[in-house]
Amino acid sequence: MPPPPPKTITAGQEVVSAFDGAITFRNLLHPTRNFNLEVTFHDHHPHLLRLREHEPPAHFHYLQVEYFQVLEGSLYVDAGPKRILLTPSDDELPVEAWVRNRVIPGPLSSDQQTTRFLLSGPAAQGPRMLDYIFYENYYRYMDAMISTGQAIEFIQILSMFDAGGSCIALPWYIPFGMTVSRVMGVVLGRWLGGVMGYQPYYKEWTTDWDTAAKRMRSSIFQKRFAAS
């Protein structure tokens, strides 16, 4: 079943908290890019300590390039078969569309309490893209589930990822894995999820509801959520 109605977020709020406070971020203006998140990992938070032991699943974006630039601390970025350690002395790292990727906190240090980095990208054509409203909905959903001890629902994740032009990456040995991932996002996330009541965006979590509603109206399976 879809998650319960989320806690209301006011339009002027700048900082989004996720994973019970382990990760926070805010959106900064960028002269050319559509979104520019300043993300902070609170390195010694229990959830991030567990993340070092159990790496998150890889994913990929098929419409946009993502850029990573570390401001404080260090960060591992898996991009395709490579694991790259980024520090403040490195230039920003682009991760191209259709490349499997994930982010993992860098080496833990007792002297380093936080890791801070910029995550940015350009706009995409059409109603599906990574941007601030995707990230605030996805991370507020994750925070709500973890903070209340509820199970994270796979169809809800697929619905949100589909809206963000993103897919869960299947294991590399599955034939046509990226194509299968895209089909899963559309069929399970958008079509079945829409019928079952899973929304890619929730009004209570979205600071730019007009944009979110416009995007959902582009799908016959989701347009009923635009007025919620």
CA 60 to CA 98: how far, in whole Å?
Answer: 6
At which of 121, 148, 179 does a domain end?
A: 121
Domain membership of residue 5 (yes or no) is no
| 33 and 54 both lie in a single domain | yes
126 lies in a domain?
no
Task: For residue range 89-100, list pLDDT tens digits in order.
Answer: 999 999 999 999
pLDDT digits (tens, 9 = 90+) for 56-77: 889 999 999 999 999 999 999 9
| 6 belongs to a structural domain | no
Q: Are 143 and 62 within one domain?
A: no
Structure pTM?
Answer: 0.89
- 20/101 same-domain check: yes
Phi, psi of 137 (to 5 degrees): -70, -45
137 and 117 within one domain: no
Identify the pLDDT of residue 111.
86
Asked if the model's pLDDT at residue 1 lies above 70, the reply is no
Nearest to 2, CA basis, from 194, 178, 182, 211: 194
Token pair listed for 156: 């809800």
**CATH number assigned to the domain comprising residue 55:** 2.60.120.10
